[in-house]
């Protein structure tokens, strides 16, 4: 059994509530289904895709999941727009290339990550870009992550 200490509310989304806490000394995120959301299976879907994509160093590191919640490592850093406003062209280009590379990997895996059309809330920059929020991912013959 996992004991999460200091669990507190962090953010609310359309389909989930986000909490932070600690697992030992590691800061983590707990994402739980928003009871008012009619979306079915989104937490389970996100866990499935995170488990796969972590093998390609994409997304926050998955720790544990169930049908009702998902636990992954907290990604400290700043949203990509804030990063762009504070950094020089070379650093920005390096990060954008890394984001496009991750999107290309998603495309090669035939996975569509719908949130890439609005990346400002779905890319956090620590030392490298980390894509977040995989609950709406799905397999498709023609993914459009790079072209979103």
- On whether both 89 and 134 belong to a single domain, the answer is yes
> Would you state the pLDDT for residue 88?
97
Dihedral angle at the C-alpha atoms of 141, 102, 74, 12, nearest 10 degrees?
-50
Tens-place pLDDT, residues 10-52:
998 888 899 999 999 999 999 998 888 777 889 999 999 999 9
The per-residue pLDDT for 34 is 84
Helix (H/G/I), strand (E/B), else coil: 9: strand
Give the whole-angstrom CA distance, residue 61 versus residue 101: 18
Q: Give the residue among 38, 33, 2 at the shortest CA–CA distance from 19.
A: 33
- Please say which residue of 73, 99, 126 terminates a domain: 73
Range of the domain at 123: 78-139
In a domain, residue 33? The reply is yes
pLDDT in tens, the chain (148 residues): 689 999 999 998 888 899 999 999 999 999 998 888 777 889 999 999 999 999 999 999 999 999 889 999 999 999 999 999 999 999 999 999 999 999 999 999 999 998 777 788 899 999 999 999 999 999 999 999 988 6
pTM, full prediction:
0.91
From the list 94, 113, 90, the residue with the least C-alpha distance to 103 is 113
What is the model's pLDDT at position 35? 82
Q: What is the pLDDT of residue 2?
A: 80
Same domain for 10 and 65, yes or no, is yes
Torsion angles phi and psi, residue 95, rounded to 5: -65, -45
Give yes or no for a contact between 13 and 34, defined as CB atoms under 8 angstroms apart.
Answer: yes
Q: Is residue 148 part of a domain?
A: no
């Amino acid at each position: 059994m996992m004991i999460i200490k200091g669990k507190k509310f962090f953010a609310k989304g359309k389909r989930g509530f986000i909490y932070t806490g600690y697992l030992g000394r590691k800061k983590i995120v707990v994402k739980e289904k928003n009871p008012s959301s009619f979306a079915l299976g989104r937490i389970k879907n996100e866990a499935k895709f995170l488990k796969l994509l972590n093998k390609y160093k994409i997304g926050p590191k998955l720790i544990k999941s169930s049908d009702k919640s998902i636990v992954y490592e907290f990604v400290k850093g700043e949203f990509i727009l804030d990063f762009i406003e504070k950094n020089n062209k070379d650093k920005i280009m390096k990060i954008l290339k890394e984001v496009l590379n991750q999107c290309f990997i998603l495309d090669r895996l035939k996975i569509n990550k719908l949130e890439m059309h609005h990346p400002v809330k779905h890319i956090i920059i620590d030392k490298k870009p980390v894509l977040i929020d995989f609950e709406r991912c799905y397999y498709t013959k023609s993914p459009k992550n790079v072209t979103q």
